[in-house]
Amino acid sequence: MIKRILVTGGAGFLGSHLCERLVDEGHDVICLDNFFTSQKSNVAHLLERPNFELVRHDVTLPIYLEVDQIYNMACPAAPGHYQYNPIKTMKTSVLGAINMLGVAKRCGARILQASTSEVYGDPEVHPQTESYRGSVNPIGIRACYDEGKRAAETLFMDYHRQNKVSVRVVRIFNTYGPRMHPYDGRVVSNFIRQALQNQPITLFGDGSQTRSFCYRDDLCEAIIRMMNLEEEFPGPVNIGNPGEFTIRELAELVIELTGSKSQLVERPLPSDDPTRRRPDIRLAQEKLGWEPQQPLREGLAKTIAWFQSIKLDDYRPPTPNFV
């Protein structure tokens, strides 16, 4: 059945793909964004579709809309972006959650929160299961994001218990793909941009820290399944690709796939940078019948092709915090 769906942060990397899929499925989609870390070009191709609407708005302020479902994706996600104005980042997570949960409560809409593997901090449990409560430094430079997302999870569960709002919480692990902002400073976009320009590839630390990389289409499929699951299951559920790579391995793979002449250079490791990260996805497999389909090599090849197709001059770094 056709639904009215609000996607906050809908012009961003993940939000724009989600909007595209939902528009293609025939739903009435409202994309809400303040364009802090994105630009209209991500959704320009949707503007002529009669079932797509773009609203410039900041989720820290209330808004009145009538919808059936809400995907709450609005939040800067790259470390350089969320650390640029950490107080605003916390407001976006917390006030944004309160405002969007308010819309959900008033409309009787179901709402999904884009939470994060960062709620586990620098984990002592590996791989990370949903029952692990995390190891976050509450006063460090990543705390504005990690604690903001943790507080948002609390709000989601309290609106569910207290006000019977139908909520869904997904904990997203590192996701990559076409339409990542080339100047977001995240590892995949940095390495591809650097490799294509034959510039030094910046390993933070010695590159032995690990991440697990999920392709954006796999991610979108999982969160749409989570939203539409008939069972009243609030989560949280981990969504990610359990393939685990060191950052040095990622750099070597990017060099191989691009045929770049770039050299690896080591840079200081930022504080509180998690040492290891890999999702335990058994809950997603069981509840959603989902597992990722795209191996890193194939997903990276598509992402590299996209980076080759864009003009870097069309992009403005959202903050000065990129290498």
Q: What is the CA radius of gyration of the chain?
A: 19
Active site positions, annotated: 145
Told to check if 11 binds ligand NAD by CB under 6 A, we report yes
Total interface residues for ligand UDP by CB under 6 A: 15
Closer Cβ to ligand UDP, 234 or 240, answer by number: 240
Residue 200 and residue 194 in contact, taking contact as beta carbons nearer than 8 Å: yes
By CB under 6 A, residue 303 contacts ligand NAD: no
Which window, 12-20, 63-71, 158-166, 204-212, contacts ligand UDP (CB under 6 A)? Answer: 204-212
Shortest Cβ 198–ligand NAD spacing (Å): 26
Q: Which does 307 bind (CB under 5 to 8 A by kind): ligand UDP, ligand NAD, none?
A: none
Name which of residues 169 to 228 contact ligand NAD (CB under 6 A): 172, 174-175, 181
Q: Locate 127 and state its tokens.
A: 């791989």
Q: Are 71 and 115 in contact (CB under 8 A)?
A: no
Q: Does 190 bind ligand UDP (CB under 6 A)?
A: yes
Task: Give which of ligand UDP, ligand NAD, none residue 34 binds (C-beta under 5 to 8 Å, depending on kind).
Answer: ligand NAD
Q: Which does 247 bind (CB under 5 to 8 A by kind): ligand NAD, ligand UDP, none?
A: ligand UDP
Interior angle at CA 120, CA 269 and CA 190, nearest 5 = 40
Shortest approach of ligand NAD to residue 292 CB, angstroms?
A: 13
CA distances from 185 to 51, 261, 321 (A): 33, 21, 7
Residue with tokens 């595209």: 20
DSSP state of 269: P
Pick one of 30, 34, 160, 241: the residue that binds ligand NAD (CB under 6 A).
34
* Of 67, 70, 77, 119, the one binding ligand NAD by CB under 6 A: 77
Residue type, 237: V
Considering the complex, state which of residue 138 and residue 259 has its C-beta at the smaller distance from ligand NAD.
138
Please state the φ and ψ torsions of residue 155, each to the nearest 5 degrees: -60, -40
Contact between 321 and ligand NAD by CB under 6 A: the answer reads: no
Per CB under 6 A, contacts with ligand NAD among 112-131 are 114, 116
For the chain, the 3-state helix, strand and coil shares in percent, each to the nearest 5, are 40, 20, 40
For residues 200 and 314, what is the distance between their CA atoms, to the nearest angstrom?
23
Closest CB to ligand NAD among 234 and 318? 318
Residue ranges in 131-160 that form contacts with ligand UDP under rule CB under 6 A: none
- The residues that touch ligand NAD, with contacts defined as CB under 6 A, are 8-9, 11-15, 33-38, 58-60, 73-77, 92, 96, 114, 116, 172, 174-175, 181
Binding site for ligand UDP (CB under 6 A): 78-79, 174, 186-187, 190, 202-204, 209, 211, 247, 270, 273, 323
